[in-house]
A and B are shown apart, each in its own frame.
Chain A
C-alpha cells in the first residue's frame, strides 16, 4: 500500500515537471484552444442539424459539450487552482476531493442555467447583460471567494504552526526530528490509510486539535466554500450554449448540454484532485514522525493558502 501511493504521486510530479519545466503548459493551452475552436464550430453544426429536425444530432451535441468542457478546463481556469490548492492545503480523502471537483463543476453549470433563465424570464436581460455580468461582476465575486479560501487555509495553517511551536519545548529532542525516525513512517502510513477522519493517537502529546479532527468538523463548510468559489463564475461557453439553445427552442437539450459540459470540465479537475491528494500523501510519508509531520502539514496548508490568496488578489486587483 505504501508503495502504491507513490505511483500517482510520481506521475503527478512528472506531469508537473513537464507542464511547468518543459513548456508543457503552453502546449496544453495551445492544444486546448485549438480543440475548443474545433469543438465550438462542430457544436454550431450539431445545433443547426437539431433545428433542422435531426434528432440524432442531440447526442452529437452532447458529446461535443463534453469535449468543450474538457478542452476548456484543460486551458487556464480557476477551478483547478481552487481544487488543487485545497487538496494540497488540507487533508482531504481523494474520493471526497474528487466529489468536490464534480460537485463544483455541476454547480457551475447550475449557476449558468439559473443566470440565463432567471435573467431572461424574470428580468428580461439581453445576452450582452448576461455576459457582462458573468465576465465582470461574478468574476470578481468568485475571486473574492477564492481569496477567502486562501486566507482561511493560511490562517489555520499559521495557527497550527504557532501551537506546535508553543508545544515543542516540552518534547524529547528525538521526537521532533523528521526523516530519521523510521518507526514514525509506519505510523504515518497507517494514518494515511485510515483517512481524514482518523486521529493521530500515536503522536502522544497535546498539540490542540489535530488538522484531521478539525477537518471533520469543518469539512462541510469547507466543501461549501470550495463549491461556491468555483460555481460563482459560470463558464462563458455554457452561457453561449444556453442562450443559443433558448433562442432555438431547444431548452432542455441546452440545459442538459450545460451539465454535460460540466462533466467534461470535471474530468480535468478530478485529475487535479487526484494529483494534489497523492502529492500531499506522499509528502506525508516522507516527513515521518509526529511533530515533524504536523509541522509540515501546517506549513503546507499555510503555503497553499498563501498561493491561492496571491492568485486571487492578483485577479482582483487586475
Chain B
C-alpha cells in the first residue's frame, strides 16, 4: 500500500483513494487454503499523484523506464510499520493469522499503479467450513472494491462467492457509532471510528468434502 502518501492517523469519513482489488485464493497440495494473492489497482487520480510526486513518467506517455519503475516500486512497497495489509481472512468468526507478504511487485499500466503480493496463512486451513476473505481499510480512507473475477488456484471442488458490501447497513452503522443513535437530524460526519469492515466486500470460499 502506498500508505506513505496517507496521513499518519487516517480520519476521513469518506474515501479519497479508490482501489480495485483482485483476489486469488491459493490452495496447497492437500487442498487447504495456503494464502491469498492480491492485486491492488489504484484509481487514476491517486496513481497520477503518486507518479508526479516522485517525478516519474514526465512525458506522460504512460510508460516507465526500469529505473523509474524501481523508484515507484520502492515507494509503493515501503509499508509503514503499523500498516497491517488491509487483508482479513476469517473462518468460523475467527480471524486467521497471516504471514508477511511475499512476491511483492509493482506495475504501471495505462497510468494506473498496480501493487501485487501474496499473503500466506500461518496455518493452512481446509475450507470445508467456509472461509471469508475481506479487503478493507479499517478507516475507510481507501475504498477497496473486490473484482468479481476471483481465482481459485489449485482448488478441487471449491467455489467462491462474492458478497457485495451492504452500504445501507454500513452507513447506518457509521451513524450509530458516531452519534450513539440511529441516523436522525444530522448527517454522518467528517470522521468516524473503524468502520471500514462494514464497507467491505466479502469473498466466501467453500469446498466440498
A residues with CB within 8 A of B: 16, 19-20, 23, 25-27, 29-30, 32-33, 36-37, 40-41, 43-45, 47-48, 51-52, 72, 75-78, 80-81, 84-85, 127-128, 131-132, 134-136, 139, 142-143, 233, 236-237, 240, 243-244, 247-248, 307, 310-311, 314-315, 318
- Is B95 part of the contact surface with A, judged by Cβ < 8 Å? no
- Is B8 part of the contact surface with A, judged by Cβ < 8 Å? yes
B60 vs chain A, min Cβ distance (A): 5
For this complex, 7 residue pairs linking A to B, each with C-beta atoms less than 8 Å apart, are A29-B167, A40-B18, A40-B44, A45-B44, A77-B190, A84-B186, A127-B5
Residues of A within 8 A of B44 (CB): 40-41, 44-45
B residues with CB within 8 A of A: 4-16, 18, 43-49, 52-53, 55, 60, 111, 143, 167-172, 174-175, 178-179, 183-193
Would you call B5 and A20 a contact (CB within 8 A)?
no
| B9 touches which of A77, A136, A143 (Cβ 8 Å) | A136
| A311 touches which of B7, B170, B171, B186 (Cβ 8 Å) | B186
Tell me the nearest residue of chain A to B53, going by C-beta: A127
Would you call B187 and A76 a contact (CB within 8 A)?
yes
Most A CB contacts (10 A, CB to CB) among B47, B171, B174, B192 go to: B171
Tell me the nearest residue of chain A to B4, going by C-beta: A128
A-B pairs with the 7 shortest C-beta distances?
Answer: A44-B44, A26-B171, A135-B7, A76-B188, A26-B168, A247-B52, A40-B45
| B13 touches which of A25, A41, A76, A84 (Cβ 8 Å) | A76
A281 vs chain B, min Cβ distance (A): 17
* A44-B48, A75-B14, A314-B178 known; A20+B143 contact, CB < 8 A: no
A118 vs chain B, min Cβ distance (A): 19
Residues of A within 8 A of B143 (CB): 33, 37
Residues of A within 8 A of B170 (CB): 26
Give Cα A52 to B170, complex, Å: 41
CB-based A-B contact count at 8 angstroms: 142
Would you call B53 and A43 a contact (CB within 8 A)?
no
Would you call B168 and A27 a contact (CB within 8 A)?
yes
Tell me the nearest residue of chain A to B175, going by C-beta: A25
| A76 touches which of B169, B185, B189 (Cβ 8 Å) | B189
Beyond A25-B171, A41-B44, 10 additional pairs, beta carbon < 8 A: A20-B183, A25-B188, A40-B43, A43-B45, A51-B60, A128-B5, A134-B7, A139-B11, A240-B49, A314-B179
Give Cα A75 to B191, complex, Å: 12
Residues of B within 8 A of A40 (CB): 18, 43-46
Would you call A76 and B14 a contact (CB within 8 A)?
yes
Residues of B within 8 A of A240 (CB): 16, 45-46, 49
* A25-B187, A44-B47 known; A72+B14 contact, CB < 8 A: yes
| A81 touches which of B4, B9, B184, B187 (Cβ 8 Å) | B187
Tell me the nearest residue of chain B to A80, going by C-beta: B187
Give Cα A191 to B38, complex, Å: 64
A124 vs chain B, min Cβ distance (A): 15
Give Cα A132 to B8, complex, Å: 6
Residues of A within 8 A of B111 (CB): 44, 48
Tell me the nearest residue of chain B to A135, going by C-beta: B7
Would you call A16 and B185 a contact (CB within 8 A)?
yes
Residues of B within 8 A of A135 (CB): 7, 9-12
Would you call B43 and A48 a contact (CB within 8 A)?
no
Would you call B60 and A236 a contact (CB within 8 A)?
no
Tell me the nearest residue of chain A to B62, going by C-beta: A48
Most A CB contacts (10 A, CB to CB) among B16, B178, B193 go to: B16
Would you call A25 and B43 a contact (CB within 8 A)?
no
